[in-house]
Amino acid sequence: MRSGYCAPMLLAASAIAAAANGDLAPQDFAYGMPIQTSAPGAAYRLPVPVEVYRNVAHEDLGDLRIFNASGEVVPYELQQPQPQSLAPPPAHPLPLFPLRGDPQTALDGVRVTIQSAGAAVNVQAAGTAGKSSAINGYVVDARELTVPVLALVVHWQDGEPEFSGLLRVESSDDLGTWNLVKRESPVLNLHSPDAQLVQGRIEFPATQAKFWRLTWIGKSAPFALTAIAADITPVHESIETSSMIVMGTALNDQRREFTFDLDASAPVNQINIELPESNSVAKLRLLSRKRLTDPWRPITQGEFYRVKDAVSERRNVAIYIPRNSDRYWLARLEQPDASMGAGAPKLLAKWDSQNLVFLARGSGPYLLAYGNGAAAAANASLGALLAGITVLPAHAGPAHSLGGAERLLPSAPGIHWKLIILWGVLAIAVALLAWMAYRLSRELGRVKT
> Are 129 and 57 contained in the same domain?
no
Choose the final residue of a domain: 312, 335, 352. 352
| CB 262 within 8 Å of CB 329 | yes
| CB 287 within 8 Å of CB 296 | yes
Q: Using CA atoms, how far apart are residues 179 and 156, in angstroms rounded to an integer?
A: 26
Q: Does residue 2 belong to any structural domain of this protein?
A: no
> Are 99 and 218 contained in the same domain?
yes
Q: pTM, whole model, 2 decimals? A: 0.61
| CB 156 within 8 Å of CB 189 | yes
> Are 167 and 220 contained in the same domain?
yes
Mean pLDDT of the chain: 81
What is the DSSP track for 253-274? Answer: TT--EEEEE-SS---EEEEEEE
Say which residue, 304 or 20, is predicted with more confidence. Answer: 304
> Are 368 and 335 contained in the same domain?
no
> Are 105 and 218 contained in the same domain?
yes
> Are 102 and 214 contained in the same domain?
yes
Using DSSP's 3-state secondary structure scheme, residue 251 falls into coil
Mutual angle of helices 2-21 and 417-448, in 10-degree steps: 160
**Sheet of 211-217: strands edge to edge?**
96-100, 135-141, 211-217, 163-172, 179-192, 195-199
Q: Is the pLDDT of residue 117 over 70?
A: no
* CATH code for the domain of 333: 2.60.120.260
Tally helices (H) and strands (E) across the chain: 4, 30
> Are 361 and 348 contained in the same domain?
no
Q: Is the pLDDT of residue 89 over 80?
A: no
Distances (CA, A) of 148 to 65, 91, 95, 123, 131: 43, 12, 17, 21, 33
Q: What residue type is assigned to position 94 of the chain? A: L
Using DSSP's 3-state secondary structure scheme, residue 281 falls into strand
CB atoms within 10 A of CB 143: 15
Q: What does the pLDDT read at residue 48? A: 92
pLDDT tens digits, 42-51: 899 999 999 9
pLDDT tens digits, 375-426: 888 878 887 777 788 889 999 999 999 988 888 887 554 445 555 666 676 7
Please tell me the total count of domains within the chain: 3
pLDDT tens digits, 214-237: 999 988 999 999 999 998 865 445
> Are 185 and 246 contained in the same domain?
no
Domain of 212, in residue numbers: 91-232
Q: Is the pLDDT of residue 427 over 80?
A: no
What is the DSSP track for 27-45? Answer: GGSSEEEEEEESS--SEEE
Q: Is the pLDDT of residue 113 over 70?
A: no
Q: Does residue 370 belong to any structural domain of this protein?
A: yes
> Are 348 and 361 contained in the same domain?
no
pLDDT tens digits, 191-209: 877 777 889 999 888 888 9
Across the range 254-275, mean pLDDT stands at: 92
> Are 279 and 147 contained in the same domain?
no
Q: Using CA atoms, how far apart are residues 119 and 121, in angstroms rounded to an integer?
A: 7
Q: Does residue 10 belong to any structural domain of this protein?
A: no
Using DSSP's 3-state secondary structure scheme, residue 76 falls into strand
